[in-house]
């Protein structure tokens, strides 16, 4: 049996943390490292609607965030690659979904900045492209850079392999991706984990997300 953690809640309680109109950060790259159980639990919370979702993708057709989209829960998506889910393309085409396309590295850095007390940053990425339209620019070293504001969420749903009872997190291979960044950048951070182990049993050198960033744990 997993040891007790003060941060452990059941999945319905976790779903209830998301409120109408929230900006919600959701970890994962495609479905890899996506907290699927948490995302699908939101279907049972009718208040989890009119959401702005920050995630690299919006799931696959009918899976993960793709299910929330089909239920009409998502008003706006901020991410880097939505063409892999035709439902997103269709919802956007019907005017039901606002999309803010962000280069993948800029998305990751905006979230990192949001969690690190940096209001905005300049990047070369996207300079001279359509994504630069309407953005403030500045030249450094003779090259145009774009000013990009940080991103923060009301809530972050992330996925890790294991937590200790304090909420320290370790990840699984490339399922790490956006999860550690998102753990820093929301008012409430909920981590879906495969197991919870006693404090002291995770190698401190291997812990990627320190426990002060994690508010709630869900076993799923």
Positions that interact with other proteins (CB under 8 A)? 29-30, 32-33, 56, 80-84, 88-89, 92-93, 99, 101-109, 111-112, 123-131, 144, 171-181, 208
Instruction: Count CB atoms within 10 A of the CB of residue 46.
Output: 10
Shortest CB 4 distance to other proteins, Å: 27
Nearer to other proteins, 38 or 160 (CB): 160
Nearer to other proteins, 166 or 178 (CB): 178
Nearer to other proteins, 3 or 128 (CB): 128
Nearer to other proteins, 103 or 167 (CB): 103
Nearer to other proteins, 179 or 192 (CB): 179
Cα 70 vs. chain centroid, distance in angstroms?
Answer: 19
Nearer to other proteins, 1 or 206 (CB): 206
Shortest CB 65 distance to other proteins, Å: 14
> Which residues have C-beta within 8 Å of that of residue 80, sequence separation ≥ 6?
56, 57, 101, 102, 103, 104, 107
Instruction: Count CB atoms within 10 A of the CB of residue 45.
Output: 17
- Nearest to residue 110, comparing CAs of 139, 144, 152? 152
Shortest CB 56 distance to other proteins, Å: 8
Task: Tally the residues of the chain.
Answer: 220
The tokens for 32 are 């890899």
Could you tell me whether strands 143-149 and 186-197 are parallel, antiparallel, or unpaired per DSSP bridges?
unpaired
Shortest CB 81 distance to other proteins, Å: 4
Shortest CB 70 distance to other proteins, Å: 17
Shortest CB 113 distance to other proteins, Å: 9
CA end-to-end distance (rounded Å), the chain: 14
- Cα separation, 201 vs 168, whole angstroms: 11
- Cα separation, 113 vs 181, whole angstroms: 9
């Amino acid at each position: 049996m997993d040891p007790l953690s003060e941060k452990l809640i059941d999945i319905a309680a976790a779903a209830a943390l998301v409120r109408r109109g929230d900006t919600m950060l959701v970890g994962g790259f495609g479905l890899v490292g996506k907290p699927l159980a948490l995302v699908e639990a939101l279907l049972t919370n009718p208040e989890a609607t009119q959401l702005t979702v920050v995630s690299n993708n919006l799931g696959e057709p009918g899976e993960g965030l793709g299910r929330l989209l089909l239920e009409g829960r998502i008003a706006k998506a901020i991410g880097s690659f939505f063409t892999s889910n035709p439902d997103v393309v269709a919802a956007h085409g019907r005017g039901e979904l606002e999309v803010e396309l962000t280069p993948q590295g800029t998305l990751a850095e905006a979230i990192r900045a949001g969690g690190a007390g940096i209001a905005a940053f300049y990047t070369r990425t996207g300079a001279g492209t359509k994504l630069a339209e309407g953005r403030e620019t500045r030249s450094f070293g003779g090259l145009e850079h774009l000013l990009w504001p940080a991103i923060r969420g009301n809530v972050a749903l992330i996925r890790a392999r294991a937590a200790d009872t304090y909420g320290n997190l370790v990840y699984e291979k490339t399922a790490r991706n956006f999860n550690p960044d998102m753990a820093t950048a929301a008012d409430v951070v909920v981590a879906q984990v495969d197991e919870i182990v006693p404090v002291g049993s995770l190698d401190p050198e291997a812990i990627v997300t320190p426990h002060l960033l994690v508010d709630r744990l869900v076993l799923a």
